[in-house]
Amino acid sequence: MKHLLTIAGSDSSGGAGIQADLKTFAAHGTFGMSVITAVTAQNTCGVTLIQDITPEMISAQIDAVFSDIHVDAVKIGMISRSPSICAIAESLRKWKPTIVVVDPVMVSKSGSPLLQQDACDTLVRELLPLATLVTPNLPEAEAICGFAIHTEKDMVAAAKHIVGLGAKKVMVKGSRLSSNESNDYLFDGTKGIWLTGTRIDTPNTHGTGCTLSSALAANLAKGLTIEEAARQAKDYVTKAIAHGITLGKGYGPTHHFVDLYKCAGLPED
């Protein structure tokens, strides 16, 4: 069994953050571990409060895991401030994990900011050069690149720009580009491919970015090529969205275990 570590924030409503990551790891038959970077008071409607974990505690959590357990892949999600980003980068340089998937979480599904404005430059400088794969959505890619993204041609330019900043590979998520399609662009520094998809009309999309990046990390840890990992992760997320759970008054979560429910003879919705 592969061992996966998520370094991210906690979502008290269970749809995103480390909760979504751990569910995704389990759904992919891997063992999940977690380093909490922040605690959010959050539900399907929004984030009401964020309490950051100290950089010292973040580093101690990482050391505790790596010093005892082999880590096959790391997924990095919400990190709200520069000192925490620097602590994580220092720990990654110390322990040298083979696979690092960075999901540059900046804004929640409800529109609440999750990354302090001055921390974006730190994330680009400290974490992108350590990343095996970066998975920005369009607003995140715009913040990283410094230019607007309105077309698929812009997505290609953004992917090349992000690899130029040090990331080995990038998957630019294009679901916000069209009301009918959900096409992503995967670029490995040399070759680019489009992963096409149909946009699903549902409000139950809370945690999709966390889920996709965690599925990618699990697939890469299991030895899949980047293209295979991306295609399977996209298929997994698409099915999870299609069977999203109507929960709360806002954006409900995706269904991380829809296949397991089906096998067990339980209702899928």
Query: Where does the pLDDT of residue 239 fall: very low under 50, low under 70, confident under 90, or very high at 90 and above?
Result: very high
Question: Strand order in 3-11's β-sheet?
Answer: 47-52, 31-42, 3-11, 73-76, 100-102, 133-134, 170-173, 184-187, 192-195
Catalytic residue numbers? 173, 205, 207-210
pLDDT (0 to 100) of residue 109: 65
pLDDT (0 to 100) of residue 88: 98
pLDDT (0 to 100) of residue 117: 76
The tens digit of pLDDT for each residue in 54-111 reads 999 999 999 999 999 999 999 999 998 999 999 999 999 999 999 999 999 887 666 6
The tens digit of pLDDT for each residue in 135-184 reads 999 999 999 999 999 999 999 999 999 999 999 999 999 987 877 889 99
The tens digit of pLDDT for each residue in 12-68 reads 999 999 999 999 999 999 999 999 999 999 999 999 999 999 999 999 999 999 999
pLDDT at 112 over 90: no
pLDDT (0 to 100) of residue 168: 97
Please give the domain boundaries of the chain with CATH numbers for all domains.
3-263 (3.40.1190.20)
The tens digit of pLDDT for each residue in 245-259 reads 999 999 999 999 998
110-113: Cβ within 8 A, 24+ apart: 110/44, 110/45, 110/46, 110/47, 110/250, 110/251, 111/46, 112/42, 112/46, 112/47
**Count of positions (residues) in the chain:** 269
User: What is the number of other CB atoms lying within 10 angstroms of the CB of residue 61?
Assistant: 19
User: What is the arithmetic mean of pLDDT over 110-114?
Assistant: 69
| CA separation, residue 159 to residues 100, 106, 128, 181, 228 (Å) | 17, 18, 12, 19, 19
pLDDT at 113 over 80: no
